[in-house]
Chain A
């Protein structure tokens, strides 16, 4: 098989879900004939007439429509054109979808795809990472695939799941990340993966930052033989605390790494859990590394300094290792 990309994985999963289950339909802006802003739905409207619907620029109503359809037994997959615009649908997602099963006993099996994270030149409103906001709400599942195989299998698992899933797909990985196949070492939603084993420190991260962490680990390996373990959370809600704690038990040192803003969020949750449940395992204070506490800048020079890079991750790890 020739190389397939992360966006190919998303496209293939949508295609398979539509083929396998007549209750699945896609809804989003420009996803029909145009195939979506990132071409995740290219050609699917022709293959599945009436099941790939273009939406007006109405994120609130898009989410509300998906909720009603899911209550009525369909499995809608929403495409937000950019994760950033899901803020307009925030009310429907956190107040309507997330509360519904708890309140009524009737599940809401919808998937919301969020093209997430930064790319050079995208600026403050086309670059955001929203996973921490949604993970805060009971009733939502929030997944953050980092590999082609996970992009594929986790989207299929999200669509099959009876609970509402926020599927955060990283735009930077769309075409850059390649693999030989959509198949990989499958894990269910809720299980983290040890992407790279090590013994001197643990980096807990997710989404595109998994790859930056691996680069940093390679630099430190080459530089001084340091063996850095990289844990890919895969889903941030639920968060696989057991795998994280087991890794920290092996290494005694923790760096929690994320691309989102620094106040609160997934990295704070990871550090909090490790401190509460694994304090005795730590040989050094845990470290967090996130984006800077400003809106996401437009210019590539500013942008690449705003988010964690292999160099800034190496710097954080050196301090952690030298403690």
Chain B
């Protein structure tokens, strides 16, 4: 992809890369905590997908746009403005976190602030983001707003993906649906997941614009996402972005990913977007090595502080919990 470096917004590029770095440093820490037995339940990382995730969310405006991150969107969460504490508190079960110990790991969000809390059933958030946009339209507040979500190659096989994207297209909603094709859904390779040549071809079938990008190339991701987000914002309807890369981790930290094909690992798809991004930052003068090194120190300190903070906070108290699933508490136990 030919990129006009001059046309890039320097601050935006720096924001994207810094979110990617934050995600990687935080996720390395989460992996260590998991291996040390400090986290109950699974740990799911986005290693390899940072460029796609961060460049999508960095184009969104918190408080105006709506965003549904999925399992491998730690970088996007940071770029959208989620506090690192939300992550550490949720993984470590602090009652102070947004999920208060009632849900864990990547199943977190702040829906009142426009960031949905994912459920595990793939594709569910696509139509939910559509609904958030429809509600904004109903009160005359949809102009210039974008709704975005990211899914994986596996999600494209679900009925929810089809129904959600078709609904967005029928309603003409400003949805940016990103497919991070990381070649595997858990252990299932693409050739057991779909039979089309390229997932972006699906765009034609839904009557939406399709975009294809090398998900390991940070600058290409930035350019593509800016195009997709600005088209949605301008009222051009849903945008389907398919980004390709390799998942550089297991499905979760319990999984060593030994089934991943060696040929893919050594291919262009197996490049680490953090390494590619670092090279691009330096080559094009967005930051120098010393500055990036200073960022890394800063980020590591803030991650360490967020872990320490969450670790010293209390977990939920089953005797203090109100044990109600209803906003109208009088309905409980009926």
B134's partner among A60, A65, A99, A239 (CB-CB below 8 A) is A65
Instruction: Verify B121–A91 contact, CB threshold 8 A.
Output: yes
Chain A's closest residue to B159 (CB) is A60
| Contact between A104 and B167, CB atoms less than 8 A apart | no
CA distance A68 to B112 in the complex (A): 11
Which residues of B101-128 are within 8 A (CB) of A?
A: 102-103, 107, 109-112, 116-117, 119-121, 124-128
CB-CB < 8 A to B107: which residues of A?
103
Residues of B248-298 contacting chain A, CB below 8 A:
none
Interface segment, one of B47-55, B214-222, B320-328: B320-328
Choose from A61, A74, A105, A138 the contact partner of B130 (Cβ within 8 Å): A61
The answer to whether A61 touches B164, judged by C-beta atoms less than 8 angstroms apart, is: yes
Q: Which stretch from B2-10, B135-143, B187-195 is at the chain A interface?
A: B135-143
Contact A190 B325 (CB under 8 A): no
Bound together, the chains give a CA A63 to CA B128 distance in angstroms of 8
Chain A residues near B132 (CB-CB < 8 A): 68-69, 71-72
Chain A contacts for B164, CB-based, 8 A: 60-61, 64
A66 interface residue per 8 A CB criterion: yes
Q: B99 contacts the other chain (Cβ, under 8 Å)? A: yes
Contact present for B139 and A64 (CB under 8 Å): no
Structural contact, A96 and B324, CB atoms closer than 8 A: no
Nearest B residue to A64 via CB reads B127
Given that A102-B324, A163-B327 are known contacts, is A64 also in contact with B103, CB under 8 Å in the complex?
A: no
Interface string of B153-191 (1 = CB under 8 A from A): 000000110111011001100000000000000000000
Judge whether A239 and B128 touch: CB under 8 Å: no
Chain A residue with Cβ nearest B109: A104
The answer to whether B111 and A71 touch across the interface, beta carbons within 8 angstroms, is yes
Stretch from A50-58, A170-178, A218-226, A309-317 at the B interface: A50-58
CB distance from B40 to the nearest CB of A (A): 17
Q: Is A22 an interface residue (CB 8 A)?
A: yes
A161 at the interface (CB under 8 A from B): yes
Secondary structure call for the B interface: helix
B129 partner residues in chain A, CB cutoff 8 A: 68
**Known interface pairs A102-B102, A104-B117. Does A237 touch B131 (Cβ–Cβ under 8 Å)?**
no
Interface residues on B, range: 35 or more
A72 with B136, Cβ < 8 A, contacts A65-B128, A95-B121, A239-B334 known: yes
Q: Judge whether B331 is part of the interface by a CB distance below 8 angstroms.
A: yes
Bound form: Cα–Cα A190–B163 in Å: 35
Q: Are B99 and A103 in contact (CB under 8 A)?
A: yes
- A57 nearest in chain B by CB position: B163
| Number of residues of chain A lying within 8 A (CB) of chain B | 55
Are A101 and B131 in contact, CB atoms less than 8 angstroms apart?
Answer: no
Contact in complex: B328, A64 (CB < 8 Å):
no
Q: Which residues A88-136 have CB closer than 8 A to chain B?
A: 88, 91-92, 95-96, 98-107, 109
With A58-B166, A64-B160, A104-B117 already in contact, the answer to whether A237 and B334 are too (CB < 8 A) is yes
Tell me whether A162 is interfacial, beta carbon within 8 Å: yes
- CA–CA, A107 and B66, complex, Å: 17
Check: A67 CB closer than 8 A to any chain B CB: yes
Query: Would A106 and B112 count as touching, CB distance under 8 A?
Result: yes
Per the bound structure, the CA–CA distance linking A238 and B334 in Å amounts to 4
Q: Does A213 contact B (CB under 8 A)?
A: no
Q: Does B93 contact A (CB under 8 A)?
A: no
Docked CA distance A72–B68 (Å): 13
Measured in the bound complex, the distance between the Cα atoms of B121 and A9 in whole Å is 37
Q: Is A23 part of the contact surface with B, judged by Cβ < 8 Å?
A: yes
Measured CB to CB, the closest approach of chain B to A53, in angstroms, equals: 8
CB closest residue in chain B, given A67: B128
A-B contacts, 13 of them at CB < 8 A, read A22-B138, A61-B160, A61-B163, A64-B130, A64-B160, A68-B127, A72-B131, A73-B139, A100-B117, A103-B102, A107-B327, A163-B331, A235-B334
**Which 5 A-B residue pairs are closest in the complex by CB-CB distance?**
A238-B334, A68-B131, A64-B127, A61-B163, A72-B135
